[in-house]
Structure 1
Amino acid sequence: MSGELDSLDRLARTPIQFGDSGQVVLLSDIAEIEKGTREPLSEMAIAHGQPAVALGVFVQSNYRLDRWATQAQPLLDDVRKELSDGISLDILFDQTHYVTTRLSSLIFNLLLGASLVFGVTLAMMGWQAAVIVGIALPLSLLMVFGMMGLMGIPLHQISITGLIVALGILIDTAIVMVDEVRHHLRQGVTAEAAINRSVRHLAIPLLSSTITTVLAFMPIALLPGSVGEFVGTIGINVILAVSCSFLLSITIIPTLATHLFFFWEHRRPPHDIPPDDSWWRNGVILPWLANGYNTVLTQTIRRPMLGVALSLAIPILGFLQAPFLDQQFFPASDRDQL
């Protein structure tokens, strides 16, 4: 009978044998045959108070949901035109708006973080250092994007979060290098000598700082299982960002700093006119803060053991409080859905 029962008519003409004499009747003679659902229903979909057929569509992980939804909407409109009266095609749940809003928020946070970094550098070190650091920031991010492409890491909310985390870290080496180059140039040395001295003096310390940051984020990048697949790109992007920033700080940043500083020096007024010492050129100067820092630094050098004890006090208190913190797999995330 395989392949024969493909319609109600054939099913109705199915012979049924009964009795010892081999009598045969058709199934339609002893039963009413009609299409329907098995009662009681094991599953049932209700939409707008009416029985419905629910269809869930999942987008491939390497495809953007908002772009897919834009392409799928015309196809849905074509299907709606072909439906019979009394049948409708409705979208019950669409994550496109949530995903678009989330990505826009992350991009805004990335730009806001970069703007704050530039503003703080401008206030603390002056416009020249701020311009150089502002150039180093997009250069580092572009290098990270290139490395992400080579490693097959897509640009999603987790990878963008890693870039946001790295914003304040990746400019540290650039700030230190810019300040060192400016210090040597103010001593009257040539541009080449300023670059050589700065790189020789800071290469090992900056490399050590970069390695310690890389090692700090290595456990996140190497997390196993589903957790590593979800948050691992945060650690990877931070590692890529600080590594690219170090390479820029010992190559391009010193050259940019000397060119900009020399260009500004050539445009300065004659020596008989007092130099411009405004905050936007040299940064905000707070004597009380500098004096307080010098006092703390002097006392720490005089009493090294006290300095070490104070520096370890806060981390130790943090580790002692860690067992009392609430633990959960992922933080709660509220959405406008049930």
Structure 2
Amino acid sequence: MKKLLIGLCACVLCFSGCGKTYEKGARIVISNPANISSVASCVSPAIVGICGEQENGESVGSGVCVTESGYILTNSHVVHDCNVITLFLSDKSTTTAQIVYEDTVLDLAILKSKKAIPYLELGNSDELEVGQDILAVGTPLSLTLVHTFTKGIVSALNRTLKVSSTKGEGYMQNLIQHDASLNPGNSGGPLINQSGQVVGINTLKISSGEGIGFAIPSKSFKSLITSFSNKINYEIPHLGVYGFDNEIATYHGKNNLGKGFYVLDISNDSPLNLVGMNKGSVIVGINDKTISNALDLKDELYKSSAGERMKIEYVQDGKKFSGVLILT
């Protein structure tokens, strides 16, 4: 759970949408994306209920399939420390899943389903606009309310929240704020745009307010999912760098920092040591892509694999440097 914020949980059961029966592993295509009710009726087959067995009980939540090969997105707090994870599919069958990735600070987990199921396409959260209609899907309060859809609008973009996790305090960045109703039962459920694409994963809401919910943006995991889906036995390469960007800096009274990733520390086994980077450097580019914040850095890293070359640009003592390293 997040400090001063309520995490959400859900379970989902049901199958077939838009009056169609989807083959296992088929991408769900929205026939009338301009009609929000048509979108709602189509996406259910890709949404799953999740029940995780823990030492002292069970955790219940929801998730959404986003690849042909059965990768499921959900929240870390739904599956953390679970020994067995069962997925409840919308055709009322069940299957098991394994955790392939977990980030307890971001509250994101990726599961691999044993069985292929219909999936939704990932949208581009960078294209969202304030005031745009969105749908949140989950099972609020009770299993009798399965596949509940709530409609809202994007209230704000790129929110940063300081939270507590199993690894201590951290920052959830670039969150999508929206006013679609979220209740216990919505954790890990998708935030869906008018084209039926997953643009976020609902994670929490402000407990002391109304209509203030947050979703992890698709940019935070789109490259990661693609690598897991397309690369055999994918593992995130080790960069070994720790730092912050200007959004986090505002929490510490530093309001005039420019764009980039500010390096606080570099591990002894980091490949950055081989290009001469030191503490206090600012990473401003990777593989000719501008690095404006921590999310940009993660996105480029998730596109890469161990053993690949990475061009890195950084500013150190007021001078700009570049180098090429081999990821480990």
TM bin, normalised by shorter chain, reads: under 0.3
Larger strand proportion of the pair: 2
Taking structure 2 as the reference length, what is the TM-score of the superposition? 0.21
Which structure would you say has the larger Rg? Answer: 1
